[in-house]
A and B are shown apart, each in its own frame.
Chain A
Amino acid sequence: MEVFVVSLLNGLVYGMLLFMLASGLTLILSMMGVLNFAHASAYMLGAYFAFTISQHIGFWPALVIAPLLCGLIGAAIEMWGLRRVHRNGHVAELLFTFGLALIIEKVVQMTWGLLPVPYRIPELLDFPLFTIYGTHFPAYRAFMLLVSALMFGAIWLGLTRTRIGLIIQAALTHPEMASALGHNVPRIFTLVFAAGTALAGLAGVIGGNYQVTEPAMAFTMGPIVFVVVVFGGLGSLTGCFIASILMGLIQTFAVVFDVSLADLLARFGFVVTKETPFAEVLTVTLPRIGALLPFLMMVLILVFRPRGLMGTRDT
């Protein structure tokens, strides 16, 4: 029971972090059709910006400034890069962001070095909030939950209750029609791209000190965010939210349960020995394949239900 509750909380924190990254990507992907490989790079940039800013001014200003910087970079990329590449088709756009991800990783390495930087959580939040079953729950994780919940609320209100949100929703499904009605769809694209990048930057600010701030963080996070977006389904923020939480929970719970297929078979009286065919596959324990489960799920859902959990159209 205690393991369950602690893992549940940790999974929730990780899932919300994933959602912060994935929500922006979902909007970008479903609206512009751009599979943005540089999205996780914005997450990394957010973490590094926050590290530098928090060294000079402090963590709290960084919480605002770093996402804004990321948003500006995103707007610049969209206006001067993607819009130009758009003429050459979707594959060119995708490859453009792929090249961008390579460059950003190298630039980060050249600016901040190859080793992880000591980006720590602020002292104000560096205390255990409460203790369950003898395990401390850090206040910073609660803060992460709070920030991501606030952000979720803000996105939801922004998309459903404001005029610009309604136009975004319209442009999401019917870009030509929205354009014909006199809305400046390219500008909305820029706005969405910048907002998505800023959200990824925000995730970097609060996620960089929760995980490790290093040049490889974009590369490890990127594929998982894709998994979440595809799993949740295109054009659906709710699906994206469910998928994020699900992935967060799966990844945390997989680490906890030390079981393998062989254990399951043993329940039914089938003992796996070294001579059994595929013994190696059967005896692999769940924690070892924990990081793989998301990809397995993505491949399966794409093969059998390409529109994802709650998607409105096929990927």
Chain B
Amino acid sequence: MSAFRRHWIWLLALAVLLAFPFLFYDWTKGRHSGFVLTLMSEIGVMAIFALSYNMLMGQAGLLSFGHAVLFGLGAYCAAHVVNLVKAGTIWLPTELVPLAGGLGGMFFGYVLGWLVTKQRATAFAMITMGLGELVSAAALMFMGFFGGEGGISIDRVMDTSLLGVAYTSPWQVYCLVLAWAFIAAALMQLQTQTPLGRIANATRDNFERAQFVGYDPRMVRLLQFTLSGFFAGVGGGLYVLIYEIVTFDTVSAAKSANALLAVYIGGAGGFFGPILGTIVVVLLQSGVSLLSNAWLLYVGVLFIVMVMYAPGGLIGLIFMHAPIWRIGRLRELTVPYLKALPAALLILAGFVMLVELASFTTIGAAQGKKLAIAGAVIDTGSPLPWLVAAGALGLGILWMRFAARGFRARWDALIEDARRQGVMS
């Protein structure tokens, strides 16, 4: 019973995630929304990927610019294994394909890691960047393993399922992704408790001292890199099952950047930060990119705002409230937050409006699209919409400055109280 009490949050998350697609279930046709399922499967895969990246960045303090190499190579391995199974050379249940990807990622994690982990800090970042460039170029060059520009396509319906599931529908694949995501997340969570996970933290915080105590920081880095490669490979294996194709962009720098963005936006310190960050980034990527040409700009601005004002990420912002919550006075922040809300909305509206106006005058015009709000086509050439947008942004910023002053006073008072009551160390 105590185990249930400690882990109820995982079960709750599982139940919510299983139930969520049914919100978009098309009852008239009796089928799931393919878009939502693919989006959620993508979030699952990217969450594993981001968590495995956090094993390097958050836990070991290793900033990698080529983590997609491990993800992509794992995906390629899984694709080859699936094709071998299809051809009848070997036998492997469909459910264990991600494991094949994971072992592939682990293998490359060890081999490449042997080279990469000789250095740390900036040199490590630069080596991983060079390696990422090398592998993504090699993926286009060598036909045998990478299949060139066309990539390697598979057929996930293999009739070797242990559970008798054919994996023909996105729903079945989604369930598989969910299962693996939970297994991988749980394993990675457990890994942080192992001696290796602890020593990785130690080498991050003070690697000279860890060395002095008698640990070889290089071995720690190598093991951590190899394990991280395993989990990235699991993500890669799932990716292959979802999309039934693996191309060179799974090893590309853009994919690596995605993991970095997700982990930093979510928060590198904790365990739930990367998951939160993944949800934000994938939603921005898939949702906003359908609506806007400028989604990358929004991601970039969000990223810079996070780096400048909230280095702890979204999860850090949430945890800042913990001491106030513990003294039971979180309610007193409601009014200051409500006061700042219209200002924030005004800034957001003005900024989005400006960006979209600019994007529609150049990129949109080239694609023959017109900016329309609520059915009314807006002429991006006339000054009025620009003035409105700039005015909203300016007014929002002024208002925010005013609201922030009141908020800060309230916040400081509450934190001071919390400190006096001894809930903050």
Contact surface of A with B, Cβ cutoff 8 Å: 33, 35, 81, 84-85, 88-92, 94-96, 98-100, 102-103, 105-107, 109-115, 223, 226-227, 230, 280-281, 284, 288-289, 291-292, 295-296, 298-299, 302-303, 306, 314-315
Cβ contacts A to B, 28 pairs, < 8 Å: A81-B308, A90-B122, A95-B307, A96-B307, A96-B308, A98-B260, A98-B303, A99-B304, A102-B297, A107-B297, A109-B363, A110-B359, A110-B362, A110-B363, A112-B362, A113-B362, A114-B366, A223-B129, A223-B130, A280-B143, A295-B134, A299-B127, A299-B130, A299-B131, A303-B115, A303-B118, A315-B119, A315-B126
B122 contacts across to A, CB distance below 8 A: 33, 35, 90, 315
- B121-149 vs A, Cβ < 8 Å mask (1 yes, 0 no): 01101110111011001100111100000
Contact of A85 among B115, B137, B300, B308 (CB under 8 A): B308
Q: Which residues on the A side are within 8 Å of B137 (C-beta)?
A: 289, 291-292, 295
On chain B, the residues within 8 Å of A107 by CB distance are 297
User: Which residues of the partner chain B approach A113 to less than 8 Å between Cβ atoms?
Assistant: 362-363, 366
In the complex, the answer to whether A292 meets B133 with C-beta atoms within 8 Å is: yes
Whether A306 lies near B123 (C-beta < 8 A) is yes
Give which listed residue, A35, A84, A114, contacts B308 with CB less than 8 A.
A84
Query: Does B307 lie within 8 Å of A102, measured CB to CB?
Result: no
Query: Does residue B294 face the partner (Cβ distance < 8 Å to A)?
Result: yes
- A residues near B341, Cβ cutoff 8 Å: none
| Contact call B260/A95, Cβ cutoff below 8 A | yes
Q: How far is the CA of A98 from the CA of B254 in the complex (A)?
A: 12
Please indicate the chain B residues that have their CB under 8 angstroms from the CB of A96 in the complex. 304, 307-308
Known A226-B126, A292-B133, A315-B122; further 18 A-B contacts with Cβ < 8 A: A33-B122, A35-B126, A88-B307, A99-B300, A100-B300, A106-B296, A223-B130, A230-B123, A280-B142, A280-B144, A281-B142, A284-B141, A289-B137, A295-B131, A295-B137, A299-B127, A306-B123, A315-B126
Asked whether B303 lies within 8 Å of A102 as measured between CB atoms, the reply is yes
Q: Which chain B residues lie closer than 8 Å to A299 at the CB level?
A: 115, 127, 130-131, 134
Pairwise interchain contact A100-B141, C-beta atoms closer than 8 A: no
Interface contact B127-A106, CB-CB below 8 Å: no
**B299 interface residue, CB < 8 Å from A?**
yes
> Residue B271 at the A interface, CB < 8 A?
no
**Chain A's nearest CB lies how many Å from the CB of B293?**
8
Cβ of B387: which chain A residues have Cβ within 8 Å of it? none
Shortest Cβ distance from B116 into chain A, in angstroms?
Answer: 8
Place the interface of chain B in its size category: 35 or more
Q: Which of B133, B297, B301 contacts A295 (CB 8 A)?
A: B133
Is the C-beta of B264 less than 8 angstroms from some C-beta in chain A? yes
B311 at the interface (CB under 8 A from A): yes
Contact of A35 among B125, B138, B296, B303 (CB under 8 A): B125
Cross-chain contact B130 with A302 (CB below 8 angstroms): yes
Q: Which residues of chain A have C-beta atoms less than 8 A from B138's C-beta?
A: 292
- Is chain A's binding surface mostly helix, strand, loop or mixed? helix
Q: How many angstroms between the C-alpha atoms of A163 and B93 in the bound complex? A: 72
Chain A residue contacts of B355, Cβ below 8 A: 110
Asked if B60 CB lies within 8 Å of chain A CBs, one says no
Cα of A226 to Cα of B122 in the assembled complex, Å: 11
Name B288-321 residues within 8 Å CB distance of A.
Answer: 293-294, 296-297, 299-301, 303-304, 307-308, 311
With A96-B304, A227-B130, A292-B134 already in contact, the answer to whether A306 and B119 are too (CB < 8 A) is yes
> Is there an interface contact between A103 and B129, defined as CB atoms closer than 8 Å?
no
A315: chain B residues within 8 A (beta carbon): 119, 122-123, 126
Which residues of the partner chain B approach A105 to less than 8 Å between Cβ atoms? 296
Q: Tell whether, in the assembled complex, residue B300 and residue A103 are in contact, meaning their CB atoms are under 8 Å apart.
A: yes
Assess the B127–A303 pair: CB atoms within 8 A: yes
Minimum CB–CB distance for A307 against chain B, Å: 9
Given A102-B299, A299-B131, decide whether A91 and B63 contact each other with a Cβ distance below 8 A.
yes
CA–CA, A288 and B118, complex, Å: 29
Cα A95 to Cα B301 in complex, Å, equals 12
Residues of B contacting A230 with CB < 8 Å? 123, 126
Nearest chain B CB to A150 CB, angstrom units: 30
Contact A223 B304 (CB under 8 A): no
A95, B359: Cα distance in complex, Å: 25
A95 touches B125 (CB 8 A): no
- A172 CA / B358 CA spacing, docked (Å): 41
CA A89 – CA B311 in complex, angstroms?
A: 10
CB distance from A231 to the nearest CB of B (A): 10
Choose one: B127, B293, B304; the contact of A100 (CB below 8 Å).
B304
When C-beta atoms are compared, the residue in chain A nearest to B295 turns out to be A106
Tell me the nearest residue of chain A to B358, going by C-beta: A110
Query: CB distance B311 to A92 under 8 Å?
Result: yes
A100, closest chain B residue (CB): B304
In the complex, the answer to whether A111 meets B362 with C-beta atoms within 8 Å is yes
Instruction: Determine how close the nearest CB of chain B comes to the CB of A174; give it in whole angstroms.
Output: 19
- Inter-chain contacts of B363 with A (CB < 8 A): 109-110, 113-114
- B201 CB to nearest A CB, Å: 16
> Which of A94, A295, A302 is in CB contact (< 8 Å) with B63?
A94
Q: In the complex the two chains form, is A102's CB within 8 Å of B127's CB?
A: no
Q: How far is the CA of A35 from the CA of B122 in the complex (A)?
A: 8
Given contacts A114-B366, A223-B133, contact A103 B126 (CB under 8 A): no
Bound: A303/B129 CA distance, A: 13
Q: Is the CB of A99 within 8 A of B307?
A: yes
Q: Which residues of B contact A81 (CB under 8 A)?
A: 304, 308
CB distance from A77 to the nearest CB of B (A): 11
Q: For A302, give its contact among B119, B134, B264, B294 (CB under 8 Å).
A: B119
Is A95 a contact of B264 with CB atoms below 8 Å? Answer: yes
Contacts of B293 in A (CB 8 A): 110
